[in-house]
Amino acid sequence: MKSHNQTIQSYFKYLHRLQGKPVTELIEIFNNEVGNRGWTSSRGVFLEALRRAFELSNYYLDPEVFKTNATSYARKIYLSNNKVLAVRS
């Protein structure tokens, strides 16, 4: 099991890599996670960094996906007019 310091280091390493990517690539990464039921602490840290990268991108984020203290991976997302929106069925 990772120590708290290792977890924090991993988070910032992921965030640094993700912040340099265009939002379209962040969306592709997000969409690859939709439907993935596997869970590890490393994945949780990565997904938290992914969420933060979206928040720092200054795009509008659909509140049905990017909730106050959670992120829903139930639906894929897409970019439209500087807004990151959930795909509607």
CA dist 56 and 72 (Å) reads 18
Q: What single DSSP character describes residue 45?
A: H
Domain interval for residue 64: 4-86
Inform me whether the pLDDT recorded for 4 exceeds 90.
no
Q: How confident is the model at residue 27 (pLDDT cuts 50, 70, 90)?
A: very high
Answer for the pair 82, 22: CB distance below 8 angstroms, yes or no.
no
**Domain count within the chain:** 1
Structure tokens, 24: 């379209």
Residue 89 confidence (pLDDT): 74
